[in-house]
Amino acid sequence: MNDMSKVEPVQIHPLDRCTAKELEEAVGILKAANKLSELAFYSSGFADEPDKNVVLNFKAGTSFERIIRLIGHDPKQKQSFDARVSLAKAELAEFTWVEDGQVAVCGPDVVKAIGLLFKTKECVDALGKRGVEDLSLVHVEPWVAGKRHPKMDPDARMFSAIFFLLKHIDGNPYARPIEGLIGYVDVDSGQVVIEDFGVAPIPEADGEYAANRVESVRDDVKPLEITQPEGASFQVEGQVIKWQKWQLRVSLNPVEGLVLHDVRYNDHGRDRSILYRASLSEMVVPYGDSSPMHSFKHALDSGETNMGHMANSLSLGCDCLGEIYYFDNTILKSNGESQEVKNVICLHEEDYGVLWKHTNMMHPSPSPEVRRSRRLVVSTFHTVGNYEYGFYWYFYQDGTIQMETKLTGHIGASVVADGKGTDTSPMVAPMISSPIHQHLFCFRLDFNLDGLDNSVCEMEVEALPPGPENPLDSGFRAISRTLKTEHEAKREVDPARSRSWRVVNPSVKNQLGLPVGYKLLPQASPVMLSGDNSLPAKRGAFAKHNLWVTPYESNELYAGAGPFSNLHSGGAGLPAYTAAERPIEDTDLVVWHTFGVTHVPRPEDWPIMPVEYAGFTLLPVGFFDQNPALDVPSPSKPCHD
């Protein structure tokens, strides 16, 4: 079906996305301030969100100061910069040279790194030793390195580079690794260091997966059509979505990607707030193989690559199916010009099976009462190097909210000539092994549960001791304790104890006289396995715990170093925020949840990985006085003969 018509309102809200005019006007003001050299380029530009009080108290027509944040790098200064521009005052409000860390990898970095490598005799000679003469068939993958090579300057803007050999210019670049060769490039100074760990044969198999290159496709797949003859049940006004009893606002941030704002539920005419803001704050992908080709890898894909800028333009029938509404986005290119990116957020609704059902067998004529579940889907997909990440927020008719990440793309590969894999890099194809690794996502959940003063309780289930109150030794009970400080709230998932965490508002009671609440129900998720003294653990410390809780501070948005994660020494984000050991009880709080998967590659992941899922669920617990989905209408067809 065709995309629904779009009506872009006049920009009146503090959370409205930047227009092209705003971005380019801000760039002009920064340039006029003469802070940057002619070599400077931009990593991102976006509207700096005002403090929560400004947003929550905003009324249509109210004035507010529009601040555009411009982030970039100046090769001449050999530093990244962070600037805030006031459009109303037409002036540079704040400018800082970044002392620790640099901005995400950008287009100019990739182009320059590849050019420098191909001009370096040592690199060309190393490729020649492996029989590679045609450089046009060499795929160079610049990797964020975590730390600088010891032979490079301490302020180098350095990237590692690994190499692959294509059979065809449009073929799969990852199927034929050029083993044992790593390039290190300082794109600021032009310095190149080559490390050669020895020649290995290059696999002959091309590992193709594209439809026009696989041997055959199935011929027994019949069409599956999803139709909504009367259109979708949601309404869109600018960036605000209304669906049944839900209302929320969406945006796409350069670092965080998809962001939800001001999530609300209409409970019998009562407008109830649940989340002020929710987004991916950071993620880390540590590799467990100690070989030189992989041991340095621990990509912070959000901050080091600008996850939001990697958002795909989505296609009907491919990424989204049904009656679709798409949201566009405006980004700032490295040269300071704006660019409109179409269809980056997909909105649709889908059937999700049975919502609830019961057959009253005591009735003289038993017949089932059944309600079909329908959910609203807000999603994005991002390509980050060899991987794809999908982020799907689901909203259900019973008040449930779910986040699901979808992982697909290409797994990392190493050449193993003797065909003997290891427990850190198992074989996935002839001559190809793939290193074990983790994908750990940290989501920042800024709760506003019927108001700002919330608390977090840890819920567990334990067996009752045998005795007079448990005569059959069969009893067990739920127990709860309130987490009072940031240190207490550093917690791990424990499925054996059915551990979960409940956000409550002590000052708002349900009809039972209990605080209203929402449960964070985690999946059985690992934490980071890299040692505490490792570089991945220092730079991605947020992944050492599944739960963190902090009091709200407007400038505490990132679990790590955020837009300056690249080459940051570590310790930023949650470790720094929680060092003060602040109280978190009955206050405006933020819940940080880290979840993910430990990926032990298998042959079925080659040459392209089927989607793997991870996520969490937010369940109302005492937030409603009864099942809020009682009023969902029955199916149009009778559920009995």
Question: What is the tens place of the pLDDT at every residue in 376-406?
Answer: 999 999 999 999 999 999 999 999 999 999 9
pLDDT one-digit tens code per residue, 320-337 = 889 999 999 999 999 999
* Residues 14, 54 contacting (CB under 8 angstroms): yes
- Whether the pLDDT of residue 40 is over 80: the answer is yes
For residue 512, how many C-alpha atoms fall within 13 Å in the half-sphere facing its CB? Answer: 10
pTM, entire model = 0.96
Give the mean model confidence (pLDDT) for residues 16-27.
Answer: 96
- Whether the pLDDT of residue 80 is over 60: the answer is yes
Give the mean model confidence (pLDDT) for residues 258-269.
Answer: 97
- Whether the pLDDT of residue 4 is over 80: the answer is no
Q: What is the pLDDT of residue 483?
A: 98
Question: Which residues, 6 or more positions from 380, have their beta carbon under 8 angstroms from its beta carbon?
Answer: 252, 257, 258, 311, 312, 314, 344, 345, 346, 390, 391
Domains of the chain are 20-97 (3.10.450.40), 107-196 (3.10.450.40), 234-350+382-453+483-620 (2.70.98.20)
Hey, is 574 helix, strand or coil? helix
* Closest residue by Cα to residue 606 from 208, 233, 315: 208
What values do phi and psi take at 26, rounded to 5? -65, -40
What 8-state DSSP symbol labels residue 295? T
Distance CA 157, CA 43 (A): 14
Distance CA 630, CA 398 (A): 9
Q: What is the pLDDT of residue 5?
A: 41
Hey, is 29 helix, strand or coil? helix
Distance CA 295, CA 607 (A): 22
- Whether the pLDDT of residue 8 is over 60: the answer is no
Q: What is the pLDDT of residue 461?
A: 97
Q: What is the pLDDT of residue 20?
A: 96
DSSP run (H or E) holding 507? strand 500-509
Distance CA 387, CA 385 (A): 6
What 8-state DSSP symbol labels residue 18? P
The DSSP bridge partners found for residue 184 are 160, 193
* Residues 442, 594 contacting (CB under 8 angstroms): yes
- Whether the pLDDT of residue 639 is over 70: the answer is no
Q: Is 206 a catalytic residue?
A: no
What values do phi and psi take at 414, rounded to 5? -130, 150
- Please spell the DSSP secondary structure of 215-244, one letter per residue: S---S---------TT--SEEEETTEEEET
Q: What is the pLDDT of residue 12?
A: 81
Question: Which residues, 6 or more positions from 472, have their beta carbon under 8 angstroms from its beta carbon?
Answer: none
- Whether the pLDDT of residue 11 is over 70: the answer is no
Mean pLDDT of the chain: 95
Give the mean model confidence (pLDDT) for residues 607-611.
Answer: 97
- Whether the pLDDT of residue 419 is over 80: the answer is yes
Share of the chain above pLDDT 90, in %: 90
Residue with tokens 């950071």, as numbered in its chain: 282
Three-state SS letters, 604-628: HHCCCEEEEEEEEEEEECCCCCCCC
Strands 138-144 and 91-97: unpaired
Give the mean model confidence (pLDDT) for residues 58-71.
Answer: 91
* Closest residue by Cα to residue 345 from 305, 387, 390, 378: 378
State how far the alpha carbon of 566 is from the alpha carbons of 187, 287, 299, in Å. 14, 17, 9
Give the mean model confidence (pLDDT) for residues 207-214.
Answer: 90
pLDDT one-digit tens code per residue, 105-151 = 999 999 999 999 999 999 999 999 999 999 999 999 999 999 999 99
Q: What is the pLDDT of residue 641?
A: 57
pLDDT one-digit tens code per residue, 474-525 = 999 999 999 999 999 999 999 999 999 999 999 999 999 999 999 999 999 9
- Whether the pLDDT of residue 615 is over 90: the answer is yes
Which of these is catalytic: 184, 265, 387, 518? 387
Distance CA 603, CA 376 (A): 35
How crowded is residue 355: how many other Cβ atoms within 10 Å of its Cβ?
Answer: 17
| Lookup: tokens for 253 | 């941030």
Q: Is 352 a catalytic residue?
A: no
Which of these is catalytic: 186, 301, 446, 605? 301
- Please spell the DSSP secondary structure of 58-112, one letter per residue: --TT-----EEEEEEEETTTTEEEEEEEETTTTEEEEEEE-SS-BPPP-HHHHHH
pLDDT one-digit tens code per residue, 173-203 = 899 999 999 999 999 999 999 999 999 999 9
Question: Which residues, 6 or more positions from 510, have their beta carbon under 8 angstroms from its beta carbon?
Answer: 516, 622, 623, 624, 625
Distance CA 70, CA 47 (A): 9
Q: What is the pLDDT of residue 7?
A: 42
